[in-house]
A = this chain, B = another copy of it.
Amino acid sequence: MILTVTLNTALDITYRVPVLRPHTSHRVTEVGERPGGKGVNVARVLAALGHAVTVTGFAGGSTGRELREGLAGVRGLTDALVPCAGRTRRTVAVVDERTGDTTQLNEPGPVVSPAEWSAFQDVYEDLLDSVSAVALCGSLPPGLPVGAYAGLVRTARAANVPVLLDTGGEALRRGVAARPDLIKPNADELAELTGSHEPRRATQDARRRGARAVVASLGAEGLLAHTPEGTWRAVPPARVRGNPTGAGDSAVAGLLSGLVEHLPWPARLSRAVALSTATVLSPAAGDFDRPAYEELLNRVSVTGEVSAA
């Protein structure tokens, strides 16, 4: 069993409109809706790969109810979300059918009370007893201490559960100092953490700050991994066009599944790149194109760079 934590879950809504014209009125031609938030997306990909996965975090209000109804339909996924009094946020993606471009509107998350945070920590600690890895994903909702992830990293380490942290800003900075097994920053998050825009230098620096391994996601340039076992760059066979929403979450699912299957790093990285490329190629945001994934898996180029320091 793998555990994913999404403290700021979301109900992701997609609207298709023929053309988006600001300051006018639009009839939405198609409405899509599904459970979201980074850890939820990671869990869905893990479940699609055949892993048993448990989702925790907060859910509240009518949108939280819908989120949980949506999760109930995912085979292999267990809902261990903790109720909160506030309402789970909605995100609205407005797709312009003429250009394919998306305009994103993200509600703020619910304010989580100290009592709710404390109830969550108890649930989390109990869940750690029966899982082989945990991923802590996404932004913190209002009300939580900025060191929230650092605390969850320490709890996982105390329970001997490998812990992956995928967040940004101050929450990442504090979380890294608590020594997670793996972080997966994108280029912006890595630069914000380390002050360096040079990925190789920055991934090394992120390790010095406390992360046992760092896998930086560099968009079309693939992944750069700096680990105790070595340094690798993994790149897709060709540039692809499509919707990058969820590509980072698919990479996390690839890394995490490879970790619990005890794959060597190059195989983990191939899987992560193939999954994230197949996510860009999928017409539905956040889903991955399975035939493309299987075809890409053997075509990802993984090259060792310098040996680890």
A-side interface residues toward B, CB under 8 Å? 15, 17, 20-29, 31, 62-63, 65-66, 92, 94, 96, 99, 101-108
Min distance, Cβ A207 to any Cβ of chain B, angstroms:
30
A12 smallest CB distance to B (angstroms): 13
Task: Give me 11 A-to-B residue pairs in the complex whose CB atoms sit less than 8 angstroms apart, sorted by A's number.
Answer: A22-B22, A22-B103, A24-B104, A25-B103, A26-B105, A26-B106, A31-B107, A31-B108, A62-B62, A92-B92, A94-B105
The complex is assembled from copies of this chain, and their number is 2
Is the beta-carbon distance between A96 and B22 smaller than 8 angstroms? yes
Closest-by-CB residue of B relative to A104 is: B25
**Residue among A20, A29, A62, A65 with most chain B CB within 10 A:** A62
For A63, give the chain B residue with the smallest CB separation: B62
Residues from chain B with a CB closer than 8 A to the CB of A106 are 25-28
- Enumerate chain B residues within 8 angstroms of A29, measured Cβ to Cβ: 108
- A66: chain B residues at CB < 8 Å are 62
A20 to B107, CA, bound (A): 14
Interface centre among A65, A96, A103 (most CB of B within 10 A): A103
Other than the given A23-B101, A27-B106, 18 more pairs (CB < 8 A) read A15-B92, A15-B107, A20-B22, A22-B22, A22-B103, A23-B99, A23-B103, A24-B103, A24-B104, A25-B106, A26-B103, A26-B105, A26-B106, A29-B108, A31-B107, A31-B108, A62-B62, A92-B92
Which chain B positions have C-beta within 8 A of A102? 23
Q: Distance in Å from the Cβ of A252 to the closest Cβ of chain B?
A: 20
Q: Please, which residues of chain B bring their CB within 8 A of the CB of A22?
A: 20, 22, 96, 101, 103
Shortest distance from the beta carbon of A194 to any chain B beta carbon, whole Å: 24
Specify which chain B residues have a CB less than 8 angstroms from the CB of A63 in the assembled complex: 62
Per CB-CB distance, the 10 closest pairs between chain A and chain B, nearest first, are A25-B104, A23-B101, A28-B107, A62-B62, A22-B103, A62-B66, A26-B105, A31-B107, A20-B22, A28-B105
- Taking the closest CB of chain B, its distance from the CB of A292, in whole angstroms, is 25
CA separation between A28 and B104, bound complex, in Å?
Answer: 10
